Structure formats: C-alpha cells, structure tokens
Amino acid sequence: MDFETTLITWLPIIFFGVVIVLLVYTMRFMPRAKPAPVVKGSQVEVSWDDVAGLDEAKEELQEVVDFLRNRKRFERLGARVPRGILLHGSPGTGKTLLAKAVASASGANFYSASASSFVEMFAGLGAARIRKLFEEARKNAPAIIFIDELDAVGASRTGGGFHREHDQTLNQLLVELDGFNARDEVIVMAASNRIQDLDAALLRPGRFDRQVNVAPPDVAGREAILGVHTRDKPLAADVDLDKVARQTAGLTGADLANLCNEAAIFAARSGVQYVRFTDFEAAMERIVAGLQQRRVVSDKEKRILAYHAAGHAVMSHLVGDLFPAQKATIVSRGQALGYTFNTPAEDRYLHTREEFVDLIMVFLAGRAAEQIVFGRITNGAANDLERVTDIARSMVFEFGMSEIAPSRTMRADNYALSEETKRLRDSEQARLTDHAYDEAQRLLSKHRVSLDRVAEALLEKETLDRSELEALLADVRPESRSSETIGTVRALPGRD
Ligand code: ADP
Ligand code: ZN
C-alpha cells in the first residue's frame, strides 16, 4: 500500500475514533437523567460521648436535637427554630463528627456533601445537585444536611464572568434555604474555616444565622480526645494521656485520632500485648514529621504565646470592665491571637476618646508583654496591629478625636486637605498609637507580677475562662485612664 491509500483507509477511522472519545468525554460532564449521587441519607451512629471536648458547641447543638425530637413544644410557643447552622473551625476539629452526633441523637437521616463537589464545569449541574439533595432530605425528614467546605460555593459572589457556575450554585443554595417552611424537619449544618470570606447573603436571618465555634482542643480537650480514641485499645500502665496531651499542643482531633492509631500499630508491630508510652512517643514523632504546616508548638513558643495572651488579659482588666476578657488561650485559632473579649457590657453607640484609647491599649498589650518579658517582638501581633491601626485612623480621620483638629474630619478622600494637614494628621495617628504602646508597656511592667501569674496559669491550662481570670487578677485594681495624659496639643496651622 502506498501512502495515499493508507491515509484514505485510516483517516475516517481516526476521525470517528476522535469523535467518539470526545463524545464520551463530554457525556461525563452532562447532566444525567439521574443526577450524580450526593451521599445517600443514612442513619449514623455517633454518640455525644464520641465527641470529646467541644462542650460549648455540644451544648448549643443540643438545642437542635431538642427541636427535632420535640418539634411540637417549640411550635406551640411560636419559637422560630434554627434552619441553618454554621460550624466554624479549622479542618479536623470535629465538625463532621458533631453534625453526625446531632443526626444520631435526634434520629434524623444524615445527608452529607462537600460543597466543592457542587462546583462543576457545566452550567446548572451544581445547582441541580443542591436541588436534589434538599429534595431527598425533605422526603426523608427529619434530616440533617451537612455541607462541608461551604466556602467552595459560598465565597463572596464574583459578579459574572468565569464564575457564573459558582454563582448559580450559590443562588440555588439560597433558594433552598429560603424555601424551607415551618413544617420541614430539615436542618442544614455547614462547615467552614473562613466565615469572613462567605457571601453575606448566606449569613442573613433565616439562613446560616447561627454560628457555632468549633475550637481546636486545649490540653484538657486533647486528653479527652485521646481518651475517646484509646477506649478500644489496651493501654500499658505507663501510658499517661495527660502527658501525651501536654506534648501535642497544636494538634487537632483528627491528628490525635491518627496518633492513637499509629501508636497501636507500633505496638502491634513490636508484638506486645499493650500499647506503651514509647509507642505513643514513636507515633508522635511520625505524626509531627508528617504535618507540614501545623506543627507541635514548642515550649519556647508556648511561653511567648502565654505572655502575649496574658498581656491582653491583664490590660483589659486594668482599663476597667469596659472590655471584659471572656477567655484567654494559647491554643491558636488563626485569628487575633489568644484572646477574646466581649464588646462593652452595656450596649452603647457612643464611646469616648478615652475608651477608644483603652481599647487600643488592650490590643497592643500582647506585643507590649512580649517586649517586656523577652525583649523582642514577634509577628504574633499582626492582627492586633491591624485593629489598632483601624481604630486610630477612625479616631483621627473621622471622629475628630485628634487634638490637632477636634472639630472636623480629615478623611483620606478629602482632596481639599493641604499636604501639611495630611502630614500632621498622619503623625497624629502615629503619635496616638505610639503613646498607647508606651503606656501599655508601662502598665504591664508595673503589674509584672500579675502578668507572670496569668502567663503561668496559661502555660498550665492553655485556656482560662472569665472566672479563672477574675480570680487570678482579684487583687489588681483597675488603673485610671491613661489616655488623659496623652501628649500635648499641636495647633493646626491656618486653614487649608
Ligand atoms: P472536620 O469536619 O472538622 O474536618 P472531622 O469531624 O471530620 O473534622 O474529624 C475527623 C476525625 O477526627 C473524626 O472522625 C474523629 O475520629 C476525630 N476527631 C476530631 N475531633 C474530635 C473530637 N473533638 N473528639 C473526638 N474525635 C475527634
Ligand atoms: Zn494579640
């Protein structure tokens, strides 16, 4: 055969071959008569006892269980029941586990899907899957729908273009959430680690309007989790779970479950009857080596974290009860490090300049403590500094709280401001925060004993709640407002 004949014989075959391959390939992504399966509803068996630590989250979710079990009682009283619950926390902290426990305790069918699986190539498929998922759940109510990685569809809308599919999927989810009626015994639980990125529409009342924080475990939590995951394992007498817990700061529930399993494997391979402490040590070594981003927090780092958090807590006590510390912790949550406080006890719209300065000092106290105790500072205060910058900027730019121009705003978008005024304005903002930082250092040095005391307690327990903090600081009287001593007034030259 010459070349031409070969070509004539083979070309159609190759052509049809390519067409068939292409067809098969596209079919894979086309909506089918039966939409791609979301995980089928099922009865799961996870008891509350399988979920260790997380007491606050469990308590809040108990209410959902109550509702599903005694719907009538809630309805009689006209109570609006939760529809969407957002579990907020990093991967492996037990969010799926909690959702399963809720389903299990309330005898509801459990449906689960990962939001990332909704975002498909062809328009409409993600939306169709969501529709199907809700339809199935309604048919098999009572049901819990668990949507993992909500941010995959729930990230702020993009406004068309490449992300139309994503938007359609999100819209469908909103439609479904709004389409619930009072009779539906379906509750949607979703998990996300990035609430701040979620589309605001998702968080409106009637949608995911409840947020439950699923915190990474502190030392007591880790011990409890180790307890759960060694329940079925024969432990040697030398295994001290408290000790293991102390050496695993930074690990999540999933890591710890894994750790227990690894320890059992080490023991089995050595042919012993019990899992020994050395098996846990070997497992820890392996697990820690395998974790790339998360690491076990070193003792040295722990000390810095402890003083940082203690700085915040002591300072919030020192400035009075305006921003009472709710909790201090050295368990990192990826947010403002180690410390939470409530906004002012009384609900007010107006705040004085002094109060803003106090707030700035509370935020700066973490870094100030690091400076005083270790003589050096870390990046751990980045979040704090951002808040401080925002507050000081608002004070000077918008609230007329600078001493250079107490009767007007000096916003960044005001082009009428002279260069001189802008320079003064910016230096006034800097002066405000610099002074607050000095004050924070002065106050914390003066109360070094209390600072040490809180830091030591944090090293021991990793988290301290409000009453524990109050007890530790009972003998410290709040100081008068430092802000009154803030620098001298500089007159503003002429008009702009
Ligand atoms: P998430 O959904 O937050 O990513 P998971 O719930 O899927 O985490 O956790 C994975 C596994 O880790 C669980 O199945 C369980 O074995 C273990 N685990 C996580 N958190 C806990 C916890 N608080 N108590 C007991 N086990 C936990
Ligand atoms: Zn801080």
- Most confident of the ranges 19-33, 165-179, 327-341: 165-179
If you write DSSP's letter for every residue of 142-204 in order, what string do you get?
Answer: SEEEEEE-THHHHBPP--SGGGHHHHHHHHHHHHHHHT--TT--EEEEEEES-GGGB-GGGGS
Bridge partners for 87 per DSSP: 191, 212
Mean pLDDT, residues 363-372: 95
Quick one: pLDDT band at residue 164, thresholds 50, 70, 90? low
| pLDDT tens per residue across span 396-412 | 888 888 877 777 778 87
| pLDDT tens per residue across span 41-91 | 678 889 999 999 899 899 999 988 988 888 888 878 888 777 899 999 989
Question: Could you tell me what percent of the chain has a pLDDT over 70?
Answer: 81
User: Higher confidence at residue 299 or residue 214?
Assistant: 214
Say which residues have a Cβ less than 8 Å from residue 481's Cβ, sequence separation at least 6: 319, 354, 357, 358
> Counting ligands in written order, which one lies closest to the CA of residue 217?
1
**What pLDDT is recorded for position 338?**
61
Question: Would you say the CB of residue 260 lies under 6 angstroms from ligand 1?
Answer: no
Atom of ligand 1 nearest to the CA of 53: 23
Asked if the model's pLDDT at residue 485 lies above 70, the reply is: no
Q: Residue 460: what residue type?
A: E
Mean pLDDT, residues 94-102: 95
Which residue in the block uniquely carries the two structure tokens 């083979």? 10
Quick one: pLDDT band at residue 369, thresholds 50, 70, 90? very high
**What pLDDT is recorded for position 334?**
47
**What pLDDT is recorded for position 294?**
55
Mean pLDDT, residues 227-250: 93
Q: What is the CA(57)–ligand 1 centre distance, in A?
A: 13
Quick one: pLDDT band at residue 425, thresholds 50, 70, 90? confident
**What pLDDT is recorded for position 225?**
97
Bridge partners for 122 per DSSP: none
Question: Would you say the CB of residue 51 lies under 6 angstroms from ligand 1?
Answer: yes
Question: Would you say the CB of residue 225 lies under 6 angstroms from ligand 1?
Answer: yes
Element housing 305 (H / E): helix 299-318
Our measurement of the distance from residue 190's CA atom to the centroid of its chain's CA atoms, rounded to an integer in Å, reads 13
Asked if the model's pLDDT at residue 244 lies above 80, the reply is: yes
Asked if the model's pLDDT at residue 201 lies above 60, the reply is: yes
Atom of ligand 1 nearest to the CA of 221: 23
Mutate which of 49, 96, 97 for ligand 1 pocket (most atoms within 8 A of beta carbon): 97
CB 464 within 8 A of CB 457: yes
- What is the three-class DSSP state of 458? helix
Quick one: pLDDT band at residue 223, thresholds 50, 70, 90? very high
- What is the three-class DSSP state of 110? strand
Question: Would you say the CB of residue 57 lies under 6 angstroms from ligand 1?
Answer: no
Say which residues have a Cβ less than 8 Å from residue 324's Cβ, sequence separation at least 6: 316, 341, 342, 345, 466
Mean pLDDT is lowest, of 76-85, 262-271, 329-338, 461-470, for 329-338
**What pLDDT is recorded for position 57?**
92
Question: Would you say the CB of residue 105 lies under 6 angstroms from ligand 1?
Answer: no
- Look up residue 26 and give its two tokens: 């596209």
Atom 5 of ligand 1, nearest CA residue: 94
Quick one: pLDDT band at residue 493, thresholds 50, 70, 90? very low
Atom of ligand 1 nearest to the CA of 89: 3
Quick one: pLDDT band at residue 424, thresholds 50, 70, 90? confident
Out of 1.20.58.760, 3.40.309.10, 3.40.640.10, 3.30.2290.10, which CATH number does the structure's domain 299-491 have?
1.20.58.760
For the chain, give the mean pLDDT.
82
> Counting ligands in written order, which one lies closest to the CA of residue 388?
2
Fold of the CATH domain 38-213: Rossmann fold (3.40.50)
Mean pLDDT, residues 36-40: 49
| pLDDT tens per residue across span 456-483 | 999 999 889 889 999 999 998 888 564 4
Mean pLDDT, residues 154-176: 69
Element housing 316 (H / E): helix 299-318
Quick one: pLDDT band at residue 285, thresholds 50, 70, 90? confident
> Counting ligands in written order, which one lies closest to the CA of residue 56?
1
Quick one: pLDDT band at residue 123, thresholds 50, 70, 90? low
* Whole-prediction pTM: 0.69
Q: What is the CA(363)–ligand 2 centre distance, in A?
A: 6
Question: Would you say the CB of residue 228 lies under 6 angstroms from ligand 1?
Answer: yes
Bridge partners for 148 per DSSP: 114
The environment of the single-atom ion ligand 2, i.e. residues with CB closer than 5 A, is 337, 366, 384
Our measurement of the distance from residue 158's CA atom to the centroid of its chain's CA atoms, rounded to an integer in Å, reads 23
**What pLDDT is recorded for position 354?**
86
Question: Would you say the CB of residue 168 lies under 6 angstroms from ligand 1?
Answer: no
**What pLDDT is recorded for position 180?**
75
Asked if the model's pLDDT at residue 488 lies above 70, the reply is: no
Q: Residue 465: what residue type?
A: D
Out of 3.60.110.10, 3.40.50.1980, 1.10.8.60, 3.50.50.60, which CATH number does the structure's domain 219-289 have?
1.10.8.60
Asked if the model's pLDDT at residue 423 lies above 50, the reply is: yes
d(CA 464, CA 441): 23
User: Higher confidence at residue 161 or residue 349?
Assistant: 349
Question: Would you say the CB of residue 129 lies under 6 angstroms from ligand 1?
Answer: no
| 208 phi-psi bin (left φ>0, alpha ψ -120 to 50, beta other) | beta
Question: Would you say the CB of residue 402 lies under 6 angstroms from ligand 1?
Answer: no
Spans of all domains in the chain: 1-30, 38-213, 219-289, 299-491
User: Higher confidence at residue 338 or residue 209?
Assistant: 209
